Amino acid sequence: MARIKSALELALERTEGVQGDRSKLDEFEEKQRGRKVYARLSEDPQLDVRKALEEASEKNLAWVKEGFFDAVVSNLNLPNDAPDLERLPMLQKGLEAIIKDRKIAQIFEQIAQFFQQFLDNRTQMVEAVQKQFEGKLRKKEEELSRQMGRRVRVDPAADPEFSQFLRQNLGKLQEQYGQVVDKVREEITALWQKQK
């Protein structure tokens, strides 16, 4: 009778001749180190980024900076609210530590205005949709009040039709602004590529 092999035994047989690429592992670990420097900057905006990055050996410094750059750029996103704008100087500081180009300051000045415009447009859109649905919601309140025999207040956020319409419009707005943010990331990446 043949012996049935376990999944572990089968996996070990398949990977018997496979060896890890040490340089890929080193690269991954050093990029993680760069991401950790970004995490430290997030916690302490006064961190000396250049000094923190240069703690890496000369051989691995490029990978550490690459991980740091990736972390900064991936955190350049549309704000959810006004306090999110407060993280922009920290992101700018991080990029200026690794990219020696005056355009970074100009880009972030424009980003700050752009993000504020996004928040303002989003607020205006919510108000416009609320006004547009005001009549419908009032009719629903009157109908429900008649059915229940007491005054009923309908919360716009609880109305499925209102929520869906608002979500669709906010999604379109976010998509339009998101495309610009993608272009900004591309521009920053191009500046980064020149530095490497």
* Per-residue model confidence as pLDDT tens for the chain (196 residues): 456 666 666 655 666 655 556 778 888 999 999 999 999 999 999 999 999 998 988 899 999 999 999 999 999 999 999 999 999 999 999 999 999 999 999 999 999 999 999 999 999 999 999 898 888 878 877 887 787 778 877 777 777 888 899 999 999 999 999 999 999 999 999 999 998 7
- 163 is in which domain, residue-wise? 102-196
Q: What is the pTM of this model?
A: 0.79
In a domain, 187, yes or no: yes
Q: What angle do CA 186, 188, 193 make, to 5 degrees?
A: 90
Q: List the structure tokens of 20.
A: 């890890």
CA 99 to chain centre: 21
pLDDT on residue 90: 97
- Residue 46 counted as domain residue: no
Residue 15 inside a domain? The answer is: no
Does 59 fall in a domain?
A: no
Looking at residue 185, its pLDDT comes to 97
Please give the Cα distance from 7 to 4 (Å, whole number): 10
- Name the one residue in this structure whose structure tokens are 């500081």: 93
Residue 5 resides in a domain: no
Of the candidates 113, 51, 121, 68, the one whose C-alpha atom is nearest the C-alpha of residue 88 is 113
**Would you say residue 38 lies in a domain?**
no
Residue 150 in tokens: 């007491």
If one counts every other C-beta atom within 10 angstroms of the C-beta of residue 112, the result is: 14
CA distance 39 to 75: 11
User: ∠ CA(40), CA(41), CA(44), 5° rounding?
Assistant: 85
Split into its structural domains, the chain has a count of: 1
The residue among 88, 5, 90, 15 whose CA lies nearest residue 49 is 90
Strand ranges in the chain using DSSP code E only, listed in sequence order = none
The DSSP call for residue 100 is: -
Percent helix, strand, coil in the chain (nearest 5)?
A: 75, 0, 25
Tell me the two tokens of residue 78: 């549309």
Q: Is residue 136 in some structural domain?
A: yes
In-domain check, residue 29: no
